[in-house]
Amino acid sequence: MEEQNKEASVASIVKNKSVSQFVKFAIVGGGATVVDYLVFFLFSRILITGLFSGQTLKQVSKSLSFIVSAAVNYYFNRQWTFKSHDKNVATQTLKFYVVATVSLVFNNFIFYVVTSVFGWADIWGLICATGIMFFWNFFMNRAWTFKK
């Protein structure tokens, strides 16, 4: 009997719209994070190495990779996570990019602190910035960008 109650509890949690959106947001975010990291390393190690150096190269690469991953994030969160049918796509896109821009500022700040102040490797800067900003992005996009 107790096992059935546990299964029923798990099933009700999975069916909960907020939990479902959070899980989908995490999946989309995971894919966008892979895009973010790949684009970061592509820019910082190959494409713009002759234009910038040192911390400037890292910050510019991080900004560019974040913008690309934000576009991936918007598309899949609109279509799958929040299943938005808002006809005013321009306003919704603007809201998404306002949230993303605030996130970008904090993302770069965290990345800077971790890599420059603490002197940790780039990957730790990426992981720390992404992990912290994940929650901001979910709650702001759920409450404001894709609010029904």
Q: pLDDT for 33-63, tens place per residue?
A: 899 999 999 998 988 888 888 888 888 898 8
Q: CA 73 to CA 68: how far, in whole Å?
A: 9
Query: What average pLDDT does this structure show over 117-126?
Result: 94
Query: How many structural domains does the chain have?
Result: 1
Cβ atoms < 10 Å from Cβ of 55: 12
Nearest Cα neighbor of 63 from 85, 43, 33 is 43
Long-range residue pairs from 131-137, CB within 8 A, at least 24 positions apart, any chain: 132/106, 133/103, 133/106, 133/107, 134/26, 134/29, 136/99, 136/102, 136/103, 136/106, 137/25, 137/29, 137/73, 137/99, 137/100, 137/103
Taking alpha carbons only, the member of 44, 49, 45, 78 closest to residue 64 is 44
User: Residue 14: is its pLDDT beyond 70?
Assistant: no
Beta strands in 22-71 (DSSP E): none
Q: What is the pLDDT of residue 62?
A: 86
Q: Across residues 108-130, what is the average pLDDT?
A: 93
Q: Which of the pair, 104 or 139, is modelled with greater confidence?
A: 139
Domain with 47, as residue range(s), is 2-145
pLDDT digit string, tens, across residues 58-84? 888 988 998 899 899 999 999 999 999
Look-up: residue for tokens 């798990």? Answer: 10
In the predicted model, is pLDDT for residue 87 greater than 90? yes
In the chain, the percentage of residues whose pLDDT exceeds 70 is: 91
